[in-house]
Amino acid sequence: VLHVFGMYMTYDIAFVYRDASCDLSISNIQFMEKSYFERQQESPRNLSLTMFSGKDILVDKRYTQLFKRGASDKIAAAAVARLNEVVVKLEAYFSE
C-alpha cells in the first residue's frame, strides 16, 4: 500500500546588502499539512490549524504519521533540498 503525504513550507527571506555583497537569511520556517494549508487558503477567516515550526521538524523531529516511518526526516530532506534550490536560483538570477 502506497501512502503519500504532503506538507507546505513557508518561510521569510531577507537580503542585507553591504559593501557590494549580499547576505541572505531564511527564517520563520513553518510547516503545515497540505490539506490544512489548502483549507486555510480557501477560508476568508484565519483558522486555528496545526502548524509545525522548523525546529519541530528539522531539529526535534516531532512530526509523525501512523503509516509513514521517519516522516520528519523525509520532510527535513525535502525542505533542505528546496531551500538549496531557492538559493541556487537566486544566485543565478543575481549573477545575470
Q: Interior CA angle at 82 toward 76 and 88, to 5°? A: 135
Q: Report yes or no on 18 lying in a domain.
A: yes
- Give the type of residue at 27: S
Domain that holds residue 34: 7-95
Q: Report yes or no on 41 lying in a domain.
A: yes
Q: Report yes or no on 43 lying in a domain.
A: yes
Q: Report yes or no on 22 lying in a domain.
A: yes
Over the chain, what is the mean pLDDT? 85
Q: Report yes or no on 15 lying in a domain.
A: yes
pLDDT tens digits for 30-69?
998 888 888 888 888 888 888 889 998 888 888 877 556 7
What is the predicted pLDDT for the residue at 4? 65
SS3 of the chain: helix, strand, coil, percent, to 5: 40, 30, 30
How many domains are there within the chain? 1
What is the predicted pLDDT for the residue at 30? 93
Residues 6+ apart with CB under 8 A from 58: 29, 72, 76, 79, 80
Q: Report yes or no on 71 lying in a domain.
A: yes
